[in-house]
Amino acid sequence: MIKLEFLNYPRKVEIAKERRVKYYTPTKPAKAIKYNDRSKYQYLKKVGDKELYLYDIETDTKVISNPKAAGTPGYEIINAQKLYNQHMTSFTRAKIVNFLHEYFKFELSNKEEICRKIKNLSEKFPLRMSLEIHDTIKVDDNSYWDAGNRGWLYVKAFEDTLTELGIIKDDNTLFIPRPCAYLHIPIHKELERKLVITIEAETDTRIVNNEEYMTLRKEYVRKEVKKRVKKAKVKISKKK
């Protein structure tokens, strides 16, 4: 059994250095009652405007809908729910995925001995994984959260990073037939949060006793090793 701990793991990714200014429009109107006073506020389209905006008649300026957020860094919580619901842009998705890959690359660079153990284990046996999410019972907005939605992006990025670094040959079912199961371990202080990933050799006899499966695994391992050895052969010029 191999365990990896990622202390104080990141929950958010910076998407923008400065969030842009937003304004009220008829499709995204102001909810405050004071903006219903048409003697003071009106939806107008002036020179340079792309659509109707809510204007303050006295100052002749557009009413900002995000005065506190405008100009401040923008963050996105790492959660697969928006991705599943298609409420996440491709730009945001790429930002999160790239961030997680770099995060795990850095973390694994400080765990060389564990990485060697994972590599050796994966070349002998298919792997099964589990993920413990040690975190508070409620999140920032004081609501309960879904362990699957939170854990999926971390697990996917972790498996991809293992493959990219050559620690495992691939993250297909020949090497990981049993992806991570998620378990939430409740804690009191957010700063004590951590991810704990456990990696073990798969023991399910329906898998490890399947001759075709295990033969294909061995062939895949040998093929990848040969490919890398071939790439490693380079001519070294003699010193003059």
- Residue 224: predicted pLDDT: 54
Biggest CA-to-CA distance, the chain: 88
pTM, two decimals, is 0.74
- Residues whose CB is less than 8 angstroms from the CB of residue 166 and which lie 6 or more positions away in sequence, other chains included: 119, 228
- Residue 236: predicted pLDDT: 35
Q: How far apart are CA 53 and CA 63, in angstroms?
A: 8
- Residues whose CB is less than 8 angstroms from the CB of residue 62 and which lie 6 or more positions away in sequence, other chains included: 23, 24, 53, 54, 55, 56
Q: How far apart are CA 240 and CA 225, in angstroms?
A: 34
Q: How far apart are CA 215 and CA 190, in angstroms?
A: 46
Q: How far apart are CA 7 and CA 112, in angstroms?
A: 17
Q: How far apart are CA 98 and CA 8, in angstroms?
A: 19
Residues 46-95 pLDDT 10s: 999 999 999 999 999 999 999 988 888 888 888 877 776 677 788 888 89
Q: How far apart are CA 31 and CA 104, in angstroms?
A: 42
